[in-house]
Amino acid sequence: MSTDSDAEPDPQAAADVETETPPATDTNPEPSVPDTGEESHQERRLREKGQRATAREEQAADAAAEDVETVEILVYRYDPEVEGKTTPRFDAFHVPLEEGMTVLDALIYARDEFDSSLTFRHSCRQGVCGSDALFVNGSQRLGCQTQISDLDVPVQIEPLPHQEVVKDLVVDMQHFYEQMDAVEPYFDPDEEPEDALDEQRQTRENREKIKLSTRCIQCGACTSSCNVAAGDNQYLGPAAINKAYRFVMDNREGEDRRKERLEIVEQEHGVWRCQTQFSCTEVCPKDIPLTEHIQELKREAIKEDIKFW
């Protein structure tokens, strides 16, 4: 009879108790790139755009649920410096309608509440600065003077036609100002008072004659409405010609200077290019009879050329 110590070892049992070899570790692991969670400018822009669109939809839904009267405005959008905005489009905004609300009020609300990137010019809000001239429902208007309640809805708001668009509702006015400067809009009397404190007197009748021409706020609405100006980039335009009228017809203007100014406006691209369409007079926010002033300058130019022997 044999004891356990005399028994031969079982190879299978030895295999069962064999320990498992641990996996080898890499002594030179690849450095991991930390996930900072930062988003690119493009991703952020798209996210904010989506948030603004969602906010507009929620606001419209809330207004409908609360039975708040709103007005829909369709705003022209364009930005040549931002990818995805180089193709013009219209964005819709639903703005709570309030008594006395103007187009400018609606734009300010849309910018402040929905889309801070919405760009347009405005300043005094009293129809004096001329900075917020726009193309509203197919006509040139001042945003601060135009009541929403007077317009058909949806209200479509665009930049002034026949001008290069800088961004959204902002147009480049440089050429317009250059045309205004071309008529040399400043006094040049033949004689000046000896005392610097003495007035250069103007008759009451003469003041009444030129009074309306002095109301121009250089908004550019008249030039934008002019088909001649749209096709002839050198045409002085109704605003510049009106400015010339203001000095030519002033009885304090020097006679030689008056003749020189008439020569400026009767050039090839001056008063004779006007086709008497009255579009400039119709859209002028200050009710200046621009077409009438242009015709009167034509008559003055003819009288200067007539010789009496």
What pLDDT sits at residue 54? 77
Two structure tokens written together for 122: 């405005």
User: Phi/psi class of residue 164: alpha, beta or left (left: φ > 0; alpha: ψ in -120 to 50)?
Assistant: beta
pLDDT, mean of residues 131-158:
97
CATH assignment, 44-171: 3.10.20.30
The DSSP result for 228-286, as a single string, is HHHH-TT---HHHHHHHHHHHT-TTS-HHHHHHHHHHHTSTTTGGG-----HHHHH-TT
Summarize pLDDT for 83-134 with one digit per residue, the tens: 888 999 999 999 999 999 999 999 999 999 999 999 999 999 999 999 999 9
Domain boundary assignment for the chain: 44-171, 174-189+205-305
CA distance 297 to 304: 11
Two structure tokens written together for 251: 């009885």
What pLDDT sits at residue 63? 60
Two structure tokens written together for 144: 């601060």
Residue 1 has pLDDT above 80, yes or no: no
pTM value is: 0.77
3-state secondary structure 113-176: HCCCCCCCCCCCCCCCCCCCEEEECCEEEECCCCEHHHCCCCEEEECCCCCCEEECCEECCHHH
Any idea which of 3-12, 52-61, 135-144 has the lowest mean pLDDT?
3-12
Summarize pLDDT for 225-283 with one digit per residue, the tens: 999 999 999 999 999 999 999 999 999 998 999 999 999 999 999 999 999 999 999 99
Summarize pLDDT for 24-82 with one digit per residue, the tens: 554 555 445 455 567 777 777 778 777 777 776 676 666 656 678 999 999 999 999 98
CB neighbour list of residue 165: distance below 8 Å, 6 or more residues apart: 78, 88, 159, 171, 172
Q: Provide the pLDDT confidence category of residue 3 given band limits of 50, 70 and 90.
A: very low
Per the DSSP assignment, residues forming a β-bridge with 72 are: 94
CA distance 117 to 136: 20
pLDDT, mean of residues 281-300:
97
Long-range (24+ apart) CB contacts under 8 A made by 49-56 are 52/114, 52/115, 55/113, 55/114, 56/92, 56/93, 56/94, 56/114
pLDDT, mean of residues 196-213:
92
- Distance of alpha carbon 168 from the chain centroid: 6
What pLDDT sits at residue 188? 82
What pLDDT sits at residue 221? 98
Q: Which CATH number fits domain 174-189+205-305: 3.30.200.20, 1.10.1060.10, 3.40.630.10, 3.40.50.620?
A: 1.10.1060.10
Write down the mean pLDDT value for the chain: 87
Higher-pLDDT residue of 144 and 40 is 144
First-to-final CA distance of the chain: 165
Q: Provide the pLDDT confidence category of residue 220 given band limits of 50, 70 and 90.
A: very high
Cα distances (Å, whole numbers) of residue 7 to 3, 13, 101 = 7, 13, 107
Residue written as token pair 């013009």: 88
Are the beta carbons of 287 and 217 closer than 8 angstroms? no
Higher-pLDDT residue of 159 and 189 is 159
What pLDDT sits at residue 248? 95
